[in-house]
Structures are given as C-alpha cells and as structure tokens.
C-alpha cells in the first residue's frame, strides 16, 4: 500500500467524519446516516492501515476517530441482568461447545498420561522409593492417612473456598498463558497429571485405589473437566498466534482472547460448584456410591448444558465472542 496515496484519497472522509462528530446532537437524519457510513469506512481504513502499512501517528488519529464515532453510533452500553442471563445460557456454553475439538482431545490425552504415570509408579517399587521414604509412603496411603485426611483437614466452607481459588487460578493461567505458543499450558497440564498419577500409583500400590477414586471422583470429574476446557481454550488461543488462518494475527488473537475472557468467568462458576462438592460432599459421611453419584450428576449436568444449550447457541451463530457492536470493525487479509 502507498500510504501517501491512501491518505490523499481518504483524508476528506476523515475530516468530514470529524466535523460531524463535533456537531454532536445537532445532526439531521441524513447527516446521521452519513456519520454511520463514514464510521464504517474509517474503521475499515484503520484495519487496512494496521495490517498493511502501520503508521503510528495516522493509526493513533484514526483509532481516536473511530472510538469517538463508535461511542456516538452505539451510545454508552451498560451491562444488565439480561446480558448475564444471555452469557450463561448462550455465550459461555457456546464458547465451550465450539472449542470442544480442543478440550476433548486434551482431556483424553491428559487422562491417558495420568493413567500411565500411575501404572508406572504402582508397578515399580523403586520409583515409589524415589518419591518418598517407606514410612512416609505408609503415612500417606494408610487408612486415615494424608490422602484421606486432606479432604477433612479444614472446615468445609474454608476448604471449599481455598480449593475454588486454587483451581480458578490454574484455569486462568491456562487461559492467559496460552498466547505464549501453547507451551506454558502443556507444562501446567503435565504438572497436574503428574500429581494425579502419583496419587493413583501410590494408592494402587497400597491396594487402596478404590478409596482414592472414591475421594477423587465426586468433585474431580467436574473439576478436571473445567481444567481441560481451560487448557483446550488456552491451546486454541496459542494456535491462533501460530496459525491465524485468513485473519490477521492480531485479529485472530483478539477474537480468541475475548472468548477466553468470557470462558474464564464461566469456568470460575463451574469450579465454584466443584469446590463446594469437594468441601462438603467428598469428606462427608455419605456412602461412596452416593458421593460418586453426586459427582457424576454434576458432570452430566455440565455436559448436557454444553452440548444442548451450547450446541443450540452455536448453531444460531454464537461463538462466545462479544457482540459485533462491542468490538471494532475488522477485515480479512490474504493468507
């Protein structure tokens, strides 16, 4: 793009838009239509300049102009209960549903890794001895030992709050750090699956795998699903940097980033539910089958929520991104 020629060709439109914006509420109906058209053109011009011939001064001027025009055209928009309801019934489940091709394989691969680690530890006493001394291993795996006492070591309410905070932080890290070419997300997943695999292996070696699963499954099904969704979304965000497709890398990252931000809010609510289960159900005196049934019911409810409400919203065009009026105009670029 020849920037000087481009500026000469469109300066009059930008000046006219600036003039109309300065007039404010004194515009006629025809002038309002003109303002909207010029706003759309200027937003497109800004996108072209950013992708083809970025010039700091010109970009700053057009960005300010587009922002002023957008505020005039759309007005000030405040979040409402209707927005929250729409997010919970359409935006969030649609975002999880549309990213299922990322988080479902992530979940399958992660569980396989944890299972392999658990088998390796259970089948090799020398690996167990490298983790801890024999007395320490017995203290961890015996009836009433550290693995079991962990869930009842604090009051249920404070324990649920602590668990929720820790898991929400892990999910947020997956979502945020995905932009760094996926590598931090894979590392976080590996650490989580390593911890899970160690627990599986040590308790299996002590002949108490059923006890471990009875403690893990009530809250772990929903908790791990939320972590896998966050990790899959983070990987999708990182892949947008590596391969943005027909969009500019900046546009692709912005789209996936906005969806990831909404995903963080939704997953915090999901992890709150799993934290409540871990704080109140897992250490309760309920039979093992009843505790597991509650966990299975919570997991099934979440999957139905995603695949029914989310699938319906996705087929209606929802992606989890913000509404068009709440984001700047964008253009496709050549691949």
Q: How would you write the pLDDT of the chain (335 residues) with one tens digit per residue? A: 678 888 889 999 999 998 888 887 677 778 888 888 898 889 888 888 877 767 778 888 888 898 888 877 766 555 567 778 888 899 899 999 999 999 999 999 999 999 999 999 999 999 999 998 989 998 889 888 887 887 776 666 766 677 677 777 778 788 778 778 788 899 999 999 999 999 999 999 999 999 999 999 999 999 999 999 999 998 988 888 888 777 777 777 777 777 777 888 899 899 999 989 988 998 888 999 999 999 999 999 999 999 999 999 999 888 776 554 444 444 444 33
Please, what sign has the CA dihedral across residues 116, 294, 164, 159? negative
Question: What's the CA gap between 168 and 292, in Å, rounded?
Answer: 22
The whole-number pLDDT of residue 100 equals 94
Q: 243: burial class by Cβ within 10 Å (0-12, 13-18, 19+)?
A: exposed
Least Cα distance to 62 among 137, 11, 111, 97 occurs for 11
CA angle at 299 for the pair 296 and 305, rounded to the nearest 5°: 140
Could you list the beta-strand ranges (E) of 132-245. none
Count of alpha carbons within 13 angstroms of residue 263, beta-carbon side: 36
| Contact (Cβ atoms closer than 8 angstroms) between residue 184 and residue 284 | no
| Contact (Cβ atoms closer than 8 angstroms) between residue 278 and residue 226 | no
Question: What's the CA gap between 289 and 257, in Å, rounded?
Answer: 40
The neighbour count for residue 220, using CB atoms within 10 Å, is 19
The whole-number pLDDT of residue 236 equals 87
Task: Tokens 């006492």: give the residue.
Answer: 149
| Contact (Cβ atoms closer than 8 angstroms) between residue 136 and residue 130 | no
- Rounded to two decimals, the pTM is 0.71
> What is the b/e burial string over 43-75, where b = at least 16 CB atoms within 10 angstroms of the residue's CB?
bebbbebbbeeeeeebeeebbebbeebbebeee
| Contact (Cβ atoms closer than 8 angstroms) between residue 234 and residue 185 | yes
Question: What's the CA gap between 19 and 17, in Å, rounded?
Answer: 5
Q: Which residue pairs, CB below 8 angstroms and at least 24 apart, start in 216-219?
A: 217/291, 217/292, 217/295, 217/296, 218/277, 218/278, 218/281, 218/282, 218/291, 218/292, 218/294, 218/295, 219/163, 219/274, 219/275, 219/277, 219/278, 219/281, 219/282, 219/295
Alpha carbon 154 to chain centroid distance?
Answer: 30
The whole-number pLDDT of residue 74 equals 66
């Amino acid at each position: 793009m020849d920037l000087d020629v481009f500026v000469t060709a469109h300066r009059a439109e930008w000046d006219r838009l600036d003039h109309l914006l300065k007039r404010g509420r004194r515009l006629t109906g025809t002038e309002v239509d003109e303002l909207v058209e010029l706003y759309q053109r200027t937003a497109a011009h800004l996108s072209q300049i950013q992708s083809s011939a970025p010039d700091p001064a010109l970009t700053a001027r057009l960005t300010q102009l587009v922002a002023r025009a957008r505020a005039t055209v759309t007005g000030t928009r405040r979040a409402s209960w209707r927005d929250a309801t729409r997010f919970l019934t359409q935006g969030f489940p649609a975002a999880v549903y549309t990213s299922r091709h990322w988080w479902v394989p992530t979940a399958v691969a992660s569980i396989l890794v944890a299972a392999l680690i658990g088998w390796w530890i259970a089948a090799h006493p020398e690996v167990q001895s490298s983790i801890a001394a024999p007395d320490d291993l017995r203290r961890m795996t015996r009836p009433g030992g550290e693995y079991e006492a962990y869930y009842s070591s604090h009051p249920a309410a404070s324990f649920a709050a602590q668990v929720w905070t820790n898991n929400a932080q892990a999910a947020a890290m997956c979502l945020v750090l995905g932009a760094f070419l996926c590598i931090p997300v894979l590392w976080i997943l590996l650490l989580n699956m390593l911890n899970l695999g160690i627990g599986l292996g040590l308790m299996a070696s002590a002949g108490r795998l059923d006890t471990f699963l009875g403690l893990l499954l009530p809250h772990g099904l929903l908790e791990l699903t939320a972590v896998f969704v966050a990790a899959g979304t983070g990987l999708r965000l990182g892949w947008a940097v590596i391969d943005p497709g027909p969009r500019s890398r900046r546009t692709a990252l912005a789209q996936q980033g906005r969806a990831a931000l909404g995903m963080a809010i939704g997953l915090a609510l999901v992890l709150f539910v799993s934290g409540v289960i871990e704080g109140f159900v897992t250490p309760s005196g309920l039979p093992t089958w009843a505790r597991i049934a509650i966990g299975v019911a919570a997991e099934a409810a979440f999957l139905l929520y995603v695949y029914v409400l989310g699938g319906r919203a996705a087929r209606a065009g929802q992606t989890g991104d913000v509404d068009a009026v709440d984001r700047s105009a964008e253009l496709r670029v050549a691949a």
